[in-house]
Amino acid sequence: MQQIVRRFEVTTSDGLTLRGEAFGDHTERGLPVVCLPGLARTSRDFHQLAERLSTDPEHPRLVLTLNSRGRGPSDYVKDPRNYDVMTEARDVIDTLAAAGLPEAAFIGTSRGGLLMLAIAAMRPTLIAAAIFNDIGPVIDAMGIARIKTYLTRSEPVRTWDDAVEFVKTANAHHFTTLSERDWERVAQMTFRDENGLPVGDFDPYIIKALEGVDVSETTINLWPQFLALSHCPTLVLRGDLSDILPLSVAREMTRRHPDCELVEIKGHGHAPLMIFDEVNDPIAAFLARVDAKRTADAPKASPEWLPKGEIVYLDDVARQVERNKAQLEATLSGQPI
């Protein structure tokens, strides 16, 4: 199947322009997918998955990969206080409205999952299926501390070799099976290329907000918001080396939710990388099951619902039209008009 990719822009309620990519087409019957990246991540994290989902020979679908405000090519804000989960969640709601999508499957990595939980509180019916990539209603404080240290680094990254070394040093203990080529791909997903050099691809003010956060006092408990998704099928992906989503929390998500499954990704930490089949296979399979269930549950009009004597078939209608026409011609024959 030929790959269709288009860039799109959406204007937010406060006048910013958000940018992303649309893979596939509205006309596909599969449930559309919206991909939401992590705190300082961009839509590049989802490109390989989006290509696969949009060109699946049996379940092709539209996939939107969105860059939140201050990330990638999307506009930066003037007031850093507008980098907050509720504002960014409203941006996503506006994006779906602009795209003409009454509902979609959502894939949220890290902060993207928190945006999903905020949307669940505001507009739960927008979410027809939910995929949480290494994030849940409760977050491990130690993982937040590591991310804070990682993102507030002081060492400059001047070359692509520096970029590869940086992502490898920061993440090697959390991703134990990556090759040198894999680390190069991670670096390319983390930094943008500007005249052949790597450049951080997010507004530094996003990270400044973390500098004053005491992670020892940071408590995130969003169980009510998670349970607002009880109406839709849910998949939880967890890296088995994750320091953000405790295994106990992931298992509790499957216990509390009536239709939730957990898949652990071996050798991955926070968050599983969607450049590998072991991550993308369960996502594609889950979405295919969602499509099948929606088709099975859809109302089907059938003439068998009617009493037999009330059923009118199209060929009977055609014959009756001809009889009526002949009767009319016979009645009018020889009559002055």
Which residues of the chain fall short of a pLDDT of 70? 1-2, 148, 150, 152-155, 209-219, 300-318, 320-321, 324-337
Cβ neighbours around 174 below 10 Å, total: 19
Give bridge partners of residue 235 from the DSSP assignment: 131, 261
Given a contact cutoff of 8 angstroms between Cβ atoms, the answer to whether 253 and 260 are in contact is yes
Angle of the 160-171 helix axis to the 180-190 helix axis, nearest 10: 100
Given a contact cutoff of 8 angstroms between Cβ atoms, the answer to whether 253 and 262 are in contact is yes
Round to whole Å and give the CA distance between 67 and 74. 6
pLDDT at 2: 65
Please, is 197 exposed, middle or buried when counting C-beta atoms within 10 Å of its C-beta (0-12, 13-18, 19+)? middle
64 CB-side CA count, 13 A: 28
Round to whole Å and give the CA distance between 232 and 46. 22
User: Which among 201, 184, 183, 176 has a CA at the least distance from the CA of 67?
Assistant: 201
Round to whole Å and give the CA distance between 99 and 303. 36
Residue with tokens 């088995």: 240
In three-state secondary structure terms, 195 is coil
Round to whole Å and give the CA distance between 268 and 270. 7
Residue with tokens 């011609």: 329
- Cβ contacts of residue 167 below 8 Å, gap of 6+? 183, 186, 187, 190
Span 181-194, pLDDT tens digits:
999 999 999 999 99
Say how many Å lie between the first and final Cα of the chain, rounded.
Answer: 62
Span 42-56, pLDDT tens digits:
999 999 999 999 999
Round to whole Å and give the CA distance between 125 and 106. 12
